């Protein structure tokens, strides 16, 4: 299925949901669409933060979202697992589709659907948000045992595996406060992986880290990307995007301005805004 | 003499510093304790030289009065347990988006905090019988104290829950945990750590406020002191004994509270 022909996206190229040019083939490892964001608008009060965003992410695809602060990229990510309730539009993750319904956002059925999406989409935060009162291992097995209903032994075995993946197996009994920022974020990644989500959402995962700790987190993320983990990453690490992204999405003023393979968007952008952003960004 | 900085051994100096530090700490503590002993001692001495203190009365009635300690402890502990349960329910309700639940909890807090504890005690013991509800003195006292402190502690717990970083809740929700589980497994355990010092203070206050139920004839410390004192016309000695007992109780409790706080802080750092 990996080289199925793409639908013709023709004139809407700049805002096309897949970001690949019509007629071109997808990279061979990319699979079927797993995340569909359709027509998302988000208002904070009168502030129109997202102004109609469509985005489709396929299995095993690594999508990096860039743009200046205030462009709506973090809000977009948080809308995908409904940490922010979109005002208009719909989200689909792994076949679970939820329409924005701010009028009935607190209804039980709506909440349960959102929970189903959240179980399928792991989220990583800028400031890690490990549970400080639990050991590393307890952090990792909390949701699998209490949400998925796995036995402690089973969950522990898997947690040990994923801690090994992020290179922190020996820290399983430590408390988060005894870890460095980079280690905390890697534990957070392991914790998210323990739910075996269909997609990982990274919200500026290295922004709160000391410069010398950023690398260890990016290495783990790059490994995940190359081993076929579907991920959407909001980041300011252009070099990382260049290396690990299948697709780069540039956002400005609440819309997707341009998207495509990293070498194209980052090195040969088609839109003036993108050029402008990248130049200012690289100048700093 | 070579500069000891690079190759020389600086250890002797370190040992000397450690010894001096230890000596200073010990001497500080000695002076600190001596101040207490001297002040309390001179106060008691001043009382004694007035010639109005009857040691015989103290020797004879101390056992009777101090027996009230058990009742005071039971009263305080059981009331505190009741208050904690009410406060947990109250705090979660005060944060509920349901207007009925939130309204009921906020009425509870407002009503209880807006009326004197003594009236609440009288109400439960003297007024409720008029409605056919007759409670023995001790349960009435426990209910009154527990109800009263539950209202104050509701606000403490609510503040504690709100003090838990919002990211904690988000992280738990993002893992697919349903609301109740987020509260029970992630928010409350952290909130409890935050409020432990405040709850400890409330417990000390509770030990002392339990004296108020002497007014409904619960035979705790103050009730016994009053009855022994009036009977023998030795109110001064009787009250001194009771006051000392309360004081010792709170000192002992504060000691354990400090240790608990230190232990809970350790897991976090």
Architecture of the domain spanning B61-268: Orthogonal Bundle (1.10)
The residue written with tokens 């706080």 in the block is B261
Integer Cα distance of B140 and B91 in angstroms? 24
Task: Note whether B97 contacts A: Cβ–Cβ < 8 A.
Answer: yes
Q: Is A172 inside any structural domain? A: no
CB interface of B with A, residues 160-189, below 8 Å = 165, 167-168, 170-179, 181, 185-186, 189
Note whether residue A183 is domain-resident: no
- Strand order of the sheet with strand A88-93? A47-58, A33-44, A88-93, A96-99
C-alpha–C-alpha distance, residues B9 and B158, integer Å: 56
Is the pLDDT confidence value at A2 over 50? no
pLDDT of A4 strictly over 60: no
Contact B176 A192 (CB under 8 A): no
CA–CA distances in Å: residue B4 to residues A136, B11, B80, B256: 44, 10, 60, 46
Q: Residue B104 and residue B126: Cα distance in Å, rounded?
A: 25
3-state secondary structure chain B: CCCCCCCCCCHHHHHHHHHHHHHHHHHHHHHHHHHHHHHHHHHHHHHHHCCCCCHHHHHHHHHHHHCHHHHHHHHHHHHHHHHHHHHHHHHHHHCCCCHHHHHHHHHHHHHHHCCCHHHHHHHHHHHHHHHCCCCCHHHHHHHHHHHHHHHHHHHHHHHHHHHCCHHHHHHHHHCCCCHHHHHHHHHHHHHHHHHHHHHHHHHHHHHHHHHHHHHHCCCCHHHHHHHHHHHHCCHHHHHHHHHHHHHHHHHHHHHHHHHHHHHHHHHHC
Which three-class secondary structure state does DSSP give residue A133? coil
Give the tens place of pLDDT for each residue, A18-40: 555 544 567 778 889 999 999 99
**Which has the closest alpha carbon to B236: B38, B35, B65, B68?**
B65
Across the A:B interface, residue pairs with CB atoms under 8 Å apart total: 68
Interchain contact, A177 vs B193, CB within 8 Å:
no
Please report residues of B whose CB lies closer than 8 A to that of A121. Answer: 174
When pLDDT is cut at 50, 70 and 90, the band that residue A266 belongs to is very high
Interchain pair A133, B190: CB under 8 A: yes
- What ipTM is given for this predicted complex? 0.87
Residue A165 lies in a domain: no
Q: Is the pLDDT of residue A13 over 90?
A: no
Domain extent listing, chain B: 61-268
Distance CA B96, CA B119 (A): 30
Q: Residue A38 and residue A90: Cα distance in Å, rounded?
A: 5
Is B177 within 8 Å of A106 when comparing Cβ atoms?
no
Burial A217-232 (b: 16+ CB within 10 A, else e): bbebbeebbeeebbbb
| Interface test with chain B among A129, A150, A155, by most B beta carbons within 10 Å | A129
Provide the pLDDT for residue B232.
84
In a domain, A11, yes or no: no
Task: Tell whether A159 is covered by a domain.
Answer: no
CA distance B89 to chain A (A): 21
Residue A155: inside a domain: no
Q: Where are the beta strands (DSSP E) in A112-198?
A: 121-124
**CA–CA min distance B157, chain A (Å):** 18
| Closest C-alpha to A251, from A15, A6, A46, A12 | A15
Q: Which of B97, B177, B267 sits opposite A143 (nearest CB)?
A: B177
Cβ distance A175 to B186 less than 8 Å, yes or no, reads no
Does the pLDDT at position A252 exceed 50?
yes
The alpha carbon dihedral of B92, B93, B97, B102 has a sign of: negative
Q: How far apart are CA B186 and CA B165, in angstroms?
A: 11
| Minimal C-alpha gap between B251 and chain A (Å) | 29
For residues B235 and B229, is the Cβ–Cβ distance under 8 A? yes
Rounded to whole angstroms, the Cα distance separating B57 from B238 reads 8
Identify the three-state secondary structure at position A71.
coil
List the CATH number of the domain containing A248.
3.40.50.300
- CB neighbour list of residue B108: distance below 8 Å, 6 or more residues apart: B90, B150, B151, B154
Structural domain includes residue A150: no
pLDDT computed for residue A16 by the predictor: 46
Q: Which of A102-106, A131-135, A266-270 has the lowest mean pLDDT?
A: A102-106
Query: What does the pLDDT read at residue B51?
Result: 78
What does the alpha-carbon distance between residue B266 and residue A178 come to, in Å, rounded to a whole number? 11
Interface test with B, best of A118, A130, A196, A204 (most B CBs within 10 A): A118
**Domain carrying residue A65:** 29-129+199-283
Tell me, what's the pLDDT at A284? 53
Whether A193 is in a domain gets the answer: no
pLDDT > 60? residue A278:
yes
Inspect the interface and report whether the beta carbons of A131 and B168 lie closer than 8 Å.
yes
Question: Please, are residues B264 and A177 in contact by the beta-carbon 8 Å criterion?
Answer: no
CB-based contact (8 Å) between B133 and chain A?
A: no
**Chain B, nearest residue to A80 by Cα:** B174
Residue range A209-230: mean pLDDT, rounded = 94
**DSSP designation for A104:** G
A254 in Cβ contact with A53 (< 8 Å): yes
Count of domains in chain A?
A: 1
Inter-chain CB proximity A132 and B176 less than 8 Å: no
Residue whose structure tokens are 């020797």:
B59
Is the pLDDT reported for residue A260 higher than 90?
yes
Per-residue pLDDT of chain B (269 residues; tens, 9 = 90+): 444 455 567 788 898 999 999 999 999 999 999 999 999 999 989 988 887 888 888 888 999 999 999 999 999 999 999 999 999 999 999 999 899 999 999 999 999 999 999 999 999 999 999 999 999 999 999 999 999 999 999 999 999 999 999 999 999 999 999 999 999 999 999 999 899 889 999 999 999 999 999 999 899 999 999 999 888 888 988 999 999 999 999 999 999 988 888 887 765 54
- Closest chain A residue to B167, measured at CA: A129
Query: Per the CB < 8 Å rule, is B176 touching A175?
Result: no
Residue A11, pLDDT score: 34
* Residue that the structure tokens 């309204």 belong to: B103
Residues A118, B175: C-beta atoms closer than 8 Å: yes
Residues 6+ apart with CB under 8 A from A60: A29, A30, A31, A228, A229, A230
Instruction: Determine the pLDDT at residue A25.
Output: 60
pLDDT above 90 covers a percentage of chain A that reads 82
Q: Is B43 on the interface with A (CB under 8 A)?
A: no
For residue B64, what are its two tokens? Answer: 């009777």
Position A263 pLDDT exceeds 70: yes
| Angle subtended by helix axes A211-226 and A181-193, to nearest 10 | 20
Return mean pLDDT, chain A.
89
Helix H or strand E segment including A46: none
Chain A residues within an 8 Å CB radius of B163: none
């Amino acid at each position: 299925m990996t080289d199925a022909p793409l639908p013709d996206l023709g004139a809407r190229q700049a805002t096309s949901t897949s970001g690949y040019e019509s007629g071109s083939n997808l990279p061979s490892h990319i699979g079927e669409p797993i995340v569909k964001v359709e027509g998302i608008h988000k208002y904070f009060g009168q502030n129109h933060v997202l102004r109609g965003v469509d985005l489709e992410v396929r299995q095993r695809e690594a999508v990096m979202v860039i743009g200046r602060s205030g462009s709506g990229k973090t809000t977009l990510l948080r809308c995908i697992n409904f940490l922010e309730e979109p005002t208009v539009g719909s989200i689909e993750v792994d076949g679970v589709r939820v329409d924005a319904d701010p009028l009935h956002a607190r209804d039980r059925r709506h909440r349960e659907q959102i929970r189903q999406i959240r179980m399928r989409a792991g989220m990583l935060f800028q400031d890690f948000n490990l549970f400080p009162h639990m050991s590393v291992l307890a952090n990792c097995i909390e949701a699998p045992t209490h949400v998925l209903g796995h036995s402690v032994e089973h969950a522990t075995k898997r947690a040990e595996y994923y801690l090994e993946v992020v290179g922190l197996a020996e820290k399983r009994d430590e408390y988060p406060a005894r870890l460095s920022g980079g280690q905390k974020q890697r534990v957070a990644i392991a914790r998210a992986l323990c739910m075996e989500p269909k997609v990982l959402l990274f919200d500026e995962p290295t922004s709160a880290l000391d410069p010398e700790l950023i690398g260890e987190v990016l290495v783990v993320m790059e490994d995940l990307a190359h081993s076929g983990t579907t991920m959407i990453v909001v980041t300011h690490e252009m070099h990382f995007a260049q290396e690990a992204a299948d697709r780069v999405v540039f956002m400005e003023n609440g819309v997707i301005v341009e998207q495509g393979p990293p070498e194209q968007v980052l090195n040969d952008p088609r839109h003036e805004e993108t050029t402008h952003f990248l130049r200012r960004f690289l100048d700093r | 003499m070579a500069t000891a900085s690079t190759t020389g051994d600086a250890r002797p100096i370190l040992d000397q510093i450690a010894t001096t530090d230890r000596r200073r700490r010990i001497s500080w503590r000695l002076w600190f304790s001596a101040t207490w002993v001297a002040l309390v001692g001179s106060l008691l001495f001043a009382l004694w030289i007035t010639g109005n203190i009857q040691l015989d009365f103290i020797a004879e009635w101390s056992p009777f009065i101090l027996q009230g300690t058990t009742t005071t402890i039971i009263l305080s502990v059981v009331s505190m347990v009741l208050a904690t349960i009410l406060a947990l329910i109250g705090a979660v309700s005060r944060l509920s988006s349901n207007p009925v639940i939130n309204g009921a909890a906020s009425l509870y807090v407002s009503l209880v905090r807006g009326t004197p504890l003594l009236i609440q005690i009288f109400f439960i013991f003297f007024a409720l019988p008029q409605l056919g509800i007759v409670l023995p003195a001790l349960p009435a006292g426990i209910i009154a104290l527990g109800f009263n402190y539950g209202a104050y502690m509701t606000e403490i717990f609510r503040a504690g829950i709100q003090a838990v970083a919002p990211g904690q809740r988000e992280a738990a929700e993002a893992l697919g945990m349903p609301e109740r589980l987020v509260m029970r497994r992630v928010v409350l355990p952290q909130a409890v750590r935050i409020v432990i010092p405040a709850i400890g203070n409330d417990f000390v206050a509770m030990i002392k406020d339990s004296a108020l139920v002497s007014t409904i004839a619960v035979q705790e410390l103050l009730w016994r002191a009053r009855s022994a004192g009036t009977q023998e016309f030795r109110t001064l000695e009787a009250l001194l004994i009771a006051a000392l007992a309360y004081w010792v109780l709170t000192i002992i409790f504060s000691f354990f509270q400090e240790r608990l706080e230190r232990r809970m802080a350790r897991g976090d750092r």
